Amino acid sequence: MPLPQDERIVALANDLLAQFEQLFGAHPGHRPAHAKGILLKGTFTPSAEAPSLSSAAHLSRPSVPVFARFSNSTGVPVIPDSDPNANPRGLAIRFYLAEHSHTDIVAHSTDGFPTRDGYEFLELLKAIAASGPDTASPKPVELFLGSHPTALAFVQAPKPFPVSLATDTYFGVTAFEFTNADGKVTFGRYRIVPEAGNQFLTGEQAAALAPNAHYDELPQRLAAGPVRFHILVQLAEAGDVTDDATQHWPESRTLLPLGTLELTGVVPDNPAEQQKIIFDPIPRIEGIAPSADPLLELRAAAYLLSGRKRRTAPPTA
Annotated binding site for heme: 303
Q: Are strands 176-179 and 227-235 parallel, antiparallel or unpaired?
A: unpaired
Q: Which of 44, 95, 178, 279 binds ligand HEM (CB under 6 A)?
A: 279
| Span 83-102, contacts to ligand HEM by CB under 6 A | 90, 92
**Is 27 among the residues known to form the active site?**
no
Which residue's CB is nearer to ligand HEM, number 55 or number 150?
150
Distances (CA, A) of 246 to 115, 153, 221: 6, 9, 34
Residues in Cβ contact with 51 at an 8 Å cutoff, skipping those fewer than 6 apart? 59, 60, 180, 181
By CB under 6 A, residue 190 contacts ligand HEM: no
Q: Read off the amino acid at residue 74.
A: T
- Count residues binding ligand HEM (CB under 6 A): 30
Residue 300 engages ligand HEM in binding (rule: CB under 6 A) = no
CB 242 within 8 A of CB 253: no
Measured CA to CA in angstroms, residue 235 lies from 51, 175, 249 at distances of 14, 9, 9
Coil, helix or strand at residue 191: strand
Q: How far is the CB of 229 from ligand HEM (least distance, A)?
A: 14
Contact 287, 178 (CB under 8 A): yes
Query: Which conformational region is residue 276 in: left (phi greater than 0), alpha (psi within -120 to 50 degrees), or beta?
Result: alpha
**Per CB under 6 A, which region of 157-165, 198-206, 221-229, 292-300 contacts ligand HEM?**
292-300
> Closest CB to ligand HEM among 256 and 302?
302
Considering only residues 227 through 246, tell me which ones interact with ligand HEM, judged by CB under 6 A. Answer: 245
- Which residues are paired to 190 by β-bridges? 233
Query: Which of residues 201, 233, 298, 300 is near ligand HEM by CB under 6 A?
Result: 298
Detail the residues annotated as belonging to a binding site. 303
User: What are the catalytic residues?
Assistant: 34
Which residues of this chain interact with ligand HEM, rule CB under 6 A? 16-17, 31-34, 37, 69, 71, 90, 92, 106-108, 113, 118, 121, 172-173, 245, 278-279, 295, 298-299, 302-303, 306-307, 310
